[in-house]
Structure 1
Amino acid sequence: MTLGDLGHSEEHRRLERALEVAGLGEFEWDRSRGQFVVSARMAAITGLPAGPMPADSIRTLEPFIHPDDLAEFRAGVVSQRPAGGVYEFEFRQVRPDDGRVVWLRVAGVMTRNAEGRPLNITGIVEDVTARKLEEDQRQTLMAELDHRVKNVLATVQALAVQTAKRTTSLEAFLQNFGGRLKAMGSANELLTAARWRGAAIDHLAAAELGALAPGQTGWEGPELFLTPRAANALALGLHELAANAVKFGALSVDTGRVNLRWVRLADGGFELTWTESGGPTVSPPARRGFGSTLLEQVTGRELNGETGIDYRPSGVVARLRAGAAAVAPRPETVPEAPVARIAETVATSAGPANLRGARVLIVEDAVLLAMELETGLSDAGAEVIGPAYELEEALALLDQPIDAAVLDANLNGHSVTPVAEALAARGVPFVFATGYGEAAGAPGGFEAPVIRKPYDVTQVAAAVAELLQAHTG
């Protein structure tokens, strides 16, 4: 054996190791002899017998290709011929040894003689079944996401129309519609955290009541998870009850209280009871608003049950009875109960925030939201800095006097953390206005209030005013 033979042998061993590590099998098709040689690695991938097999033409190999992929394979052969003898295909194969269907990627290069006639094709085979399955799953998820987004948009549109029909002023519409959107957002946040397998009733109660009136609300009952449809319906129902309690009922005074209790039923469903006490004397409303209609009809039907409201003089009592179809199995991933940072579910009787003279930085990548924030904060008397839509824009604005800031957590894929760190180092307070549902609190672990999207801009203004008061006081 010569030194050249040793070198060639070592190079061959390196190539063998590389093919093995990459999970590739190799083949050689000798066109002049009509012989297709399958390596041991290719045999393991395809189920074909290792060694030579007769192959006079490309059609000899077609029986090993899934019938549904044959037309595309043949078209690929024709289209790739002018490319200089380099071929690449992806197709399904029914393995001859065990009948399994696998996806293969086949790539080869053709060598020709001096007259241009094909001599042989050398190439590799790769099992890409896992990648194809991931692509299929991704397409399925995208289709499901598209379906859910359209359903949400349709629901939002219906809420807007129905709310507008039953309100007499723009201010009332914005308040009612914004609260209902927030209730939907809270339910969807919980469902997303549980991978849309279900949402716990106690988490829905905490999201709606947790920040309303500390010490005046309570809820109890067994662990129960609702389907996505039922969770959204219950979130809207609880919102309507909470909004009414804040405006007219038990939560409109300091002495009032709301208790929420639910029990399992023998048929697999549940019954939830909302009880108000200690508030003003109650009488039935003179007219039925959309909130009552939504609660009694929509929520009841979506829960596959019924809803009833009793306007007792001592306080409103509402009962929601749900069928077994509304209850979901316990999901594998159960999110933590939401942490209430700011009372943002329904509007209170407090007056508008006063930000007169305050210099407030807005960092938000959604242009419409930034415009809304700018208008709302300006109406409250603030001098708006920005808005900044990109991380670089926000960092460039930090060299001027800033009293407070409103930060979106994510700016076109970039974390707002550098801006938050710079503001924290200067002692400038800020609030996060974000669509991310982080149960642990503020993004990045900062000690800062969090307002979840969708929000009413008056909530943001109130949060900024509270920050400034705490900072200066």
Structure 2
Amino acid sequence: MMTRELDHSSDRDRLELALQIAGLGEFDWDIENDVVRVTERLSAIIGLPPGEYPGEGGEGLRRIVHPDDMAALRTDIARLLRAADVYEHRYRMIHPETGALHWMRAAGRVIRDGEGRALRILGIIEDVTAQHLEEDQRQQLMAELDHRVKNVLAAVQALAQQTAKRTTSLDAFLTNFNGRLKAMASANELLTAARWRGAAIDHLASAELGALAPGQTSWEGPELFLTPRAANALSLALHELATNAVKFGALSVETGHVDLRWRTLRDGGFELTWTETGGPPVGAPPRRGFGSTLLEQVTPRELNGAAEVEYRPAGVRVRLHAGPQAMADRPEVVPDVPAANRVTETVATAAGPASLKGARVLIVEDAVLLALELETGLSEAGAEVVGPAYELEEAMALLDQPIDAAVLDANLNGRSVTPVAEVLRQRKIPFVFATGYGETGGAPGGFDAPIIRKPYDVTQVASAVAEILASR
């Protein structure tokens, strides 16, 4: 007899502990006597003192149920008493002590007699407010992501259309469009690292100029952060200026220099000055392209300011004035200055496209269209493509084949490509990362490998692979 009592006590203690750990409060509704018993644990959750309360045929629940949810709960109770054995219901309540809105989950079982008549309901109640808040936040984030993606797609579409209208050949369109798209991607990477709270001007300058012409560019100014809209606009403007400087201006010769400086203004905005010196004599372009339109019309409007472009014989000088609306507070998370020297920014040279004749190159990329584009581009450069591999297991299986080099996406459908990279490193097979992940600290996984940021031109990838093969 004593043993049974001890076992029963032990079971009860385990149940009590389980309910306490789970944050559950239990109740007992005696339907025959129409009395609801509230335990101390349940009292701590719903705010009513522990004890017995009149059931009132279910209407007593109005003490803890939001008025707007009572009708649905009445329907559930009627169904439960009529035919069901178990139930689960979610409802809102106004906490009687704090007045705060809470979400509750109730679940239980009906105890019936031999004739099926409901005698009592035993159940538990859980405060699930935190889960509902998380779900609301998740929905808000998804809506915000959808909004941003649509904005980006619309901007890319407009960029493509405007670029196409002002180019005379497919090659020129691809070159100009890819460069502008990459400028947008650089700004987006910085904004993402700062949780879309803003991007610093010096980060934008480093991303655009850092690897362009070492020793021929410099930038200086106070730490200023721009809104996402202004950051994208300035990134595109710097890209247009840098592209023109490489083609026609100071960066087209070894003696030229580009100096970028910015300062704050009394109204809370800033002034940025781009100055080219030491290059060939320049003059106003014979026709206005999209770059000119971007600098003189689009950028000032996006920055809530103005732009002045001077084609001086000594070199181009551009002043951009931005209003205080373009400024953002310093984000809580500020990324490191982009390590531009770690990023491969390879472009076609006068010697023509890179040659990969006879090289066996493994492609690991989970985006099918992009993998096909890589396969076409590398094949046209003379490579023998291994793959493409779209999944981690596919890539690992292909490592047994003869491989001279590899192009790796950092993430394969949510899985890291690190196991593939590790095997390649052990076998001393060079590889490059072609990735959309913004890891300003260097290559993914800490590998000593060049990085090509998405979006990219396939010729960049071919040139990068040719370089790592030549350096073996």
TM-score between both structures, scaled by the size of structure 2? 0.97
Matched, 1:445 2:420: no
CA contact (8 A) 1:380 1:461 kept: yes
What does residue 104 of structure 2 align with?
Answer: 104
**For the residues of structure 1 that align with 2:168 and 2:160, how far apart are their CA atoms?**
14
Summarize the alignment of residues 68-467 of structure 1 with structure 2, pairs less than 5 Å apart.
68-77=68-77, 84-340=84-340, 341-344=342-345, 351-467=352-468
Count residues with an aligned counterpart.
Answer: 471
Alpha carbons of structure 1 residues 433 and 67: separation in structure 2 relative to 1, 3 Å: same
**For the residues of structure 1 that align with 2:63 and 2:142, how far apart are their CA atoms?**
34
CA contact (8 A) 2:344 2:450 kept: no
Summarize the alignment of residues 57-68 of structure 1 with structure 2, pairs less than 5 Å apart.
57-68=57-68
**For the residues of structure 2 that align with 1:76 and 1:287, how far apart are their CA atoms?**
74
Please list the CA deviations of residues 207-233 of structure 1 after superposition, one character each: whole Å capped at 9, or x if unmatched: 001111111111100000000010001
Q: Secondary structure at the match of 1:308?
A: strand
Alpha carbons of structure 1 residues 331 and 9: separation in structure 2 relative to 1, 3 Å: same
Please list the CA deviations of residues 338-395 of structure 1 after superposition, one character each: whole Å capped at 9, or x if unmatched: 1122452876656311111111111000011101111111111111111111111111
**For the residues of structure 1 that align with 2:210 and 2:49, how far apart are their CA atoms?**
67
Q: What is the CA distance between 1:69 and its match in structure 2?
A: 2.7
CA contact (8 A) 1:88 1:105 kept: yes
**For the residues of structure 1 that align with 2:468 and 2:297, how far apart are their CA atoms?**
41
Alpha carbons of structure 1 residues 293 and 78: separation in structure 2 relative to 1, 3 Å: farther
Q: What is the CA distance between 1:426 and its match in structure 2?
A: 1.1
TM-score between both structures, scaled by the size of structure 1? 0.97
Corresponding letter in the other structure for 1:6: L
Q: Secondary structure at the match of 2:399?
A: helix
**For the residues of structure 2 that align with 1:24 and 1:392, how far apart are their CA atoms?**
44
Alpha carbons of structure 1 residues 115 and 343: separation in structure 2 relative to 1, 3 Å: closer
Q: What is the CA distance between 1:252 and its match in structure 2?
A: 1.0
Unaligned runs of 5+ in 2: none
Q: Secondary structure at the match of 1:57?
A: helix
Corresponding letter in the other structure for 1:228: P
Q: Secondary structure at the match of 2:173?
A: helix
Alpha carbons of structure 1 residues 72 and 239: separation in structure 2 relative to 1, 3 Å: farther
Alpha carbons of structure 1 residues 348 and 133: separation in structure 2 relative to 1, 3 Å: farther
Q: Secondary structure at the match of 1:10?
A: helix
- Please give the root-mean-square deviation of Cα atoms over the aligned residues, in Å: 1.6
Q: What is the CA distance between 1:442 and its match in structure 2?
A: 0.5
CA contact (8 A) 1:356 1:380 kept: yes
**For the residues of structure 2 that align with 1:418 and 1:79, how far apart are their CA atoms?**
56
What does residue 469 of structure 2 align with?
Answer: 468
Q: Secondary structure at the match of 1:205?
A: helix
CA contact (8 A) 2:193 2:438 kept: yes
CA contact (8 A) 1:429 1:467 kept: yes
Alpha carbons of structure 1 residues 203 and 78: separation in structure 2 relative to 1, 3 Å: farther
**For the residues of structure 2 that align with 1:363 and 1:166, how far apart are their CA atoms?**
36
Q: What is the CA distance between 1:7 and its match in structure 2?
A: 2.2
Q: What is the CA distance between 1:302 and its match in structure 2?
A: 0.4
CA contact (8 A) 2:81 2:110 kept: no
Please list the CA deviations of residues 141-183 of structure 1 after superposition, one character each: whole Å capped at 9, or x if unmatched: 0000000000000000000001001101110111100011100
Please list the CA deviations of residues 56-115 of structure 1 after superposition, one character each: whole Å capped at 9, or x if unmatched: 312331352113333443454466668741111111101122211111111111110011
Corresponding letter in the other structure for 2:127: D
**For the residues of structure 1 that align with 2:296 and 2:80, how far apart are their CA atoms?**
65
**For the residues of structure 2 that align with 1:350 and 1:185, how far apart are their CA atoms?**
28
**For the residues of structure 2 that align with 1:151 and 1:415, how far apart are their CA atoms?**
29
Please list the CA deviations of residues 112-152 of structure 1 after superposition, one character each: whole Å capped at 9, or x if unmatched: 00111111111111111111111100100000000000000
CA contact (8 A) 2:344 2:464 kept: no
CA contact (8 A) 1:239 1:345 kept: no
Q: What is the CA distance between 1:5 and its match in structure 2?
A: 2.2
CA contact (8 A) 2:346 2:463 kept: no
Q: Which moved more, 1:98-107 or 1:217-226?
A: 98-107
Q: Secondary structure at the match of 1:110?
A: strand
**For the residues of structure 2 that align with 1:382 and 1:144, how far apart are their CA atoms?**
42
Please list the CA deviations of residues 4-23 of structure 1 after superposition, one character each: whole Å capped at 9, or x if unmatched: 22222222122111111111
Q: Secondary structure at the match of 1:399?
A: coil
Alpha carbons of structure 1 residues 232 and 80: separation in structure 2 relative to 1, 3 Å: farther
CA contact (8 A) 1:355 1:380 kept: yes
Alpha carbons of structure 1 residues 305 and 94: separation in structure 2 relative to 1, 3 Å: same
Q: Which moved more, 1:183-192 or 1:375-384?
A: 375-384
**For the residues of structure 2 that align with 1:10 and 1:31, how far apart are their CA atoms?**
29
